[in-house]
C-alpha cells in the first residue's frame, strides 16, 4: 500500500499545482489536501481528500492523528512582505511549530517545508553566492525574513530532538511562472527598473514547475536535507532593465526609504524604510547542492525563467 501524503496550504498556487501533478503519479498514495480555506467543488481533483484546518489550532493535531500520513508537505505560510507582523508570526512560526508537534505526536516519517532564501537575511556582506551552510541571519527589523529564520531555528531544534522525523527543507529564491503576480513582479511592471545606488542587487529565479518537480522528487524518494532552489545564474537590475527595454532608475537607499515611510504614513502603501533592503541586498542562492546532492538540475536557468515569465505576461496583455 502506497503511503499517505498530506499537504498544508493546499489551496495556494503551488499547493494546487502540486496536487494536480501528484494525483497523476501512480507512485503516489492517498493525498490529503488541507487549507484554512474551503476549496470549491469544481476546483477539486478527483481522488483527493479535501479538509479544512488552521495549522495553528489543536484541531490540526487531531486531524494529523486521524489521517496518519507518512509525509507532510508544509506549504502554508505567508508569501509576501509588509502585512500584519503578529498575524504573519502566528502563521509562519507558531503554525510551523504546531505542524512539528503534530508530526512527532502522530509518527509522521517525513516533513517537507518550503522555507525561503530570505532566511539568510538581506545584508550588504552576504556572500556573492549563498550556500546552505551559510548563516541564517534574517533581519530583526523586517518581519518576513525574521520569521523565516525563526522557522528554520525551530526546524533545527527538531532535527536534534527528533531525528526520526526526516526533514526536507527547501529555500526558494523568487518563484516565477506563466501567471505569477506579486510584489516582485510588480517591480517589473513599472515604467522603469528600480535599483539602489551602490548595490548590484542580483535576482535569482526558480521556475514554478521546477519547484513542483523538486517537491515531487523529494516525496517519492523520501529525501531529507536542506537545499537552495534557484535556476542557474543571476540577473542584475541593469540586465533586467535591458531585457524589459526600460530605463534603470537608480535611487539612494535613504531617498527610497523616506518615500516608503511617507507612503505608509499616508496609508498609500504598507512598506516602509526597513523594506528597502528587500531590493538592495537580495540573497543570491547557489544551486550546486540541489544539482549535485539532491540530484535535480532546474529545467530553466534564471534568465530562461525570466524570459518565460515576460513572454507569457506580454501574451496576456495583448
For residues 269-287, average pLDDT:
88
Per-residue model confidence as pLDDT tens digits over 101-131: 999 999 999 999 999 999 999 999 999 999 9
Q: Are 32 and 5 in contact (CB under 8 A)?
A: yes
Give dist(CA 216, CA 125) in Å, integer.
Answer: 34
pLDDT at 147 exceeding the cut of 90: yes
Q: What 3-state class would DSSP assign to 158?
A: helix
Per-residue model confidence as pLDDT tens digits over 50-94: 999 999 999 999 999 999 999 999 999 987 665 788 999 999 999
Q: What 3-state class would DSSP assign to 110?
A: strand
pLDDT at 2: 82
- Its sign, for the CA torsion 253, 254, 258, 259, is negative
Give dist(CA 286, CA 127) in Å, integer.
Answer: 10
The grid cell for 286 is: 547557489
Tally Cβ neighbours within 10 Å of residue 206.
27
Tally Cβ neighbours within 10 Å of residue 292.
10
Beta bridge mates, 113:
74, 169
Supply the pTM of this predicted model.
Answer: 0.94
- Its sign, for the CA torsion 188, 301, 121, 155, is positive
What does the mean pLDDT of the chain come to?
Answer: 93
Per-residue model confidence as pLDDT tens digits over 199-254: 877 999 999 999 999 999 999 999 999 999 999 999 999 999 999 999 999 998 89
pLDDT at 1 exceeding the cut of 70: no
Q: What is the CATH number of domain 5-179+204-232+284-299?
A: 3.40.50.720
- Detail the DSSP E strand segments found in the chain: 5-8, 31-35, 49-52, 71-74, 110-114, 166-172, 174-176, 193-196, 205-207, 225-229, 248-251
Parse the chain into domains and list their residue ranges: 5-179+204-232+284-299
Q: Three-state SS across 255-289?
A: HHHHHHHHHHHCCCCCCCHHHCHHHHCCCCECCHH
Tally Cβ neighbours within 10 Å of residue 127.
13
58-67 helix and 95-106 helix, angle to the nearest 10 degrees: 40
Cα dihedral 273, 274, 275, 277, rounded to 10, equals 110
Q: What 3-state class would DSSP assign to 88?
A: helix
Which is it for strands 174-176 and 205-207: parallel, antiparallel or unpaired?
Answer: parallel
Q: What is the CA radius of gyration of the chain?
A: 20
Amino acid at each position: 500500500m502506497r503511503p499517505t501524503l498530506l499537504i498544508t496550504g493546499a489551496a495556494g498556487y503551488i499547493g494546487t499545482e502540486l496536487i494536480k501533478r501528484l494525483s497523476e503519479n501512480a507512485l503516489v498514495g492517498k493525498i490529503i489536501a488541507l487549507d484554512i480555506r474551503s476549496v470549491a467543488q469544481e476546483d477539486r481533483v478527483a481522488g483527493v481528500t479535501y479538509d479544512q484546518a488552521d495549522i495553528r489550532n489543536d484541531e490540526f493535531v487531531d486531524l494529523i492523528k486521524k489521517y496518519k500520513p507518512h509525509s507532510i508537505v508544509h506549504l502554508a505560510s505567508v508569501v509576501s512582505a509588509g502585512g500584519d507582523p503578529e498575524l504573519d508570526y502566528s502563521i509562519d512560526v507558531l503554525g510551523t511549530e504546531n505542524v512539528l508537534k503534530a508530526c512527532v505526536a502522530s509518527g509522521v516519517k517525513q516533513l517537507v517545508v518550503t522555507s525561503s532564501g530570505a532566511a539568510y537575511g538581506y545584508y550588504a556582506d552576504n556572500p556573492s553566492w549563498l550556500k546552505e551552510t551559510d548563516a541564517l541571519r534574517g533581519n530583526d527589523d523586517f518581519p518576513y525574513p525574521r520569521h523565516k529564520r525563526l522557522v528554520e531555528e525551530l526546524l533545527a531544534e527538531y532535527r536534534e530532538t527528533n531525528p526520526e522525523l526526516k526533514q526536507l527543507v527547501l529555500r526558494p529564491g523568487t518563484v516565477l511562472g506563466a501567471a505569477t503576480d506579486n510584489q516582485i513582479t510588480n517591480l517589473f511592471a513599472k515604467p522603469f527598473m528600480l535599483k539602489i545606488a551602490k548595490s548590484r542587487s542580483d535576482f535569482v529565479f526558480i521556475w514554478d514547475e521546477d519547484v513542483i518537480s523538486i517537491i515531487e522528487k523529494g516525496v517519492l524518494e523520501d529525501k531529507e536535507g536542506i537545499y537552495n532552489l534557484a535556476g542557474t545564474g543571476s540577473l542584475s537590475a541593469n540586465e533586467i532593465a535591458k531585457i524589459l527595454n526600460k530605463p534603470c532608475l537608480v535611487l539612494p537607499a535613504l531617498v527610497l526609504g523616506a518615500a516608503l515611510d511617507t507612503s505608509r504614513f499616508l496609508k498609500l502603501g504598507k512598506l516602509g524604510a526597513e523594506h528597502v533592503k528587500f531590493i538592495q541586498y537580495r540573497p543570491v542562492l547557489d544551486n550546486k547542492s540541489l544539482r549535485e546532492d539532491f540530484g535535480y538540475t532546474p529545467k530553466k536557468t534564471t534568465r530562461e525563467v525570466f524570459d518565460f515569465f515576460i513572454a507569457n505576461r506580454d501574451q496576456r496583455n495583448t
